[in-house]
A and B are shown apart, each in its own frame.
Chain A
Amino acid sequence: MTAIVFYFQVHQPYRLRRYSFFDIGRDQRYFDDTENARIVRRVAEKCYRPMNAVLHSLVDQHEGRFRCSFSISGTALDQMEQWTPETLESFQALARTGCVEFLGETSHHSLAALFDPEEFALQVNSHADRIEQLFGRRPTVFRNTELVVSNDVAAQAERLGFVGILGEGADHVLGWRSAHRVYRPEGCERIKLLLRSYRFSDDIAFRFSNRAWSEWPLTADRFAQWVHGSPADDRVIGLFMDYETFGEHQWADTGIFEFMKHLPEQVLTNDRFRFSLPSEVLAVEDPIARLDLPHPVSWADTERDLTAWLGNRMQTAANAALYELGPRVRELAAAGVPEFVHDWRRLTTSDHLYYMCTKWFADGDVHKYFSPYASPHDAFIAFMNVLDDLARRSERATVTASPSS
């Protein structure tokens, strides 16, 4: 048997206002609520709700033989609760079918695993609590922000009790080995690594609507034939992608929804294949080998590394300043002043660093720059100004809070 594992990523960041130097010390409203509400409502309408409806009917139609998994960041859950609660309810309805699994991740879509293990544990545990409360089951499989995995990240997830972790099936890590097997990261005892099959995944996520692609237009029938053509000893094919693929990155008029409506029936015409949840695959599959991931690998770009978030001086400086503030705001939270850690955690969302990315400019491809800001430098300035204000406020708060403690 070969298991087909769908995992969809749902995430929304809290975008910042154009926070000026002159706002420092005067204005504590850091986030652009108007824009954040507008975007989550738009994406809910174009992607989350219509696609949830498609998936729900697929589960019903195939009587449980179609199944899929999600990872939803805590900030996305917050925004849905706040601005589009009916969308959150449609995810809960999917959970009740028993055919949809919700994975663990950091509450704030952060890179804390790399810079602040203590914060990482706090974010992962609070997110697990939230998932259990909303969807009725505590996650047992973990996916880190942007699929960033290393030996060390996997070990941290293992210590937090997860049985599996998702990763990118990057060529430079696998070498001659297949992404269609389960592995164990070096240095780990129990946790299993489930990899993304990037060619199959990107056929749907990136190439589907590309008219210059030789395979355009891609039909469910054709895609299923490719899947059926995979080697007989393949154990699992991980189709991991952003949920916005459906209706937002690929608009409805590309036929992406129709494609998905028909894909399961086409895949299931061959008895060798079945749809599985990540936890189901990992319960039955033993690791075929250890995989050494000394450096973090992500699912981003062709480099599959961290350069989209930490590739230039602005990004590394902003990231260093961010995590420097962590101990202080957590200390304040422990002393009964939670407001600083609340805002600070929203700043740990990796999107803020991504907006400062300049690597597209090297080859002049500015069209890849997808951001609420006019430029990466503007993104850096707004972020640093906010961080400056938060640092000043938390510093003052420490002074006033200490006599009472």
Chain B
Amino acid sequence: MNLTLKVWRQDGPNDKGRMETFKVNDVSEHMSFLEMMDVLNEQIINDGGDPIAFDHDCREGICGMCSMYINGEAHGPGRGVTTCQLHMREFNDGDTIYIEPWRAKAFPVVKDLMVDRSAFDRVIQAGGYVSVNTSGNTQDANAIPIEKENADAAFDAATCIGCGACVATCKNSSAMLFVSAKVSQFSLLPQGEPEAADRVLKMVNQMDLEGFGNCTNTGACEVECPKGISLENIARMNREYLKASLTK
């Protein structure tokens, strides 16, 4: 198929940025979206131009690095996929495709389609851990049985890949889905209990400091999340937050 691409170009965080138009021909429907971008970049290099910068690494939907806003949707059309798992068979010959970076105050553009998501790291650093040293001198792994239902729910929350699609898609650029997934994982496990109150207060505080917006329960984040992280996590975090702010 032959495609027209409108791609966001921006030299750095302070550059104003612009859309550029490219043509890519003979795209196979079996290609992944990023492989199509590889073909485009090869074409740009051969024409003596500056290839488009974008983040990507594992190309199997787990590292969370790829991050394209395609035709107005985080990770493009299709549900439960990252950009690298999107295939060209989702598009038709002659289509015009708009490709933009994640847009959020807390995610400044590094170059073109690449953004700086270190705000997420700082939120985790504020409390997204259990304060146990790595000595190996802990108790036996089976010393505390954990109800399967809770273990499974903790796992589901923990599958967040930190890609930031939730922030990109939210009209408020809220990071509530991301933060609540980590808060939930630990609040569902006995190992996370001793620090639960401190954790939620510190992480939410950091989230606000980074400039993420508030949650207005629109639910777009859940729809666009490639890992299907549930809105229930936000509800759970709100309960944890309320509880903590009353007791701390």
Is B one of A's binding partners? no
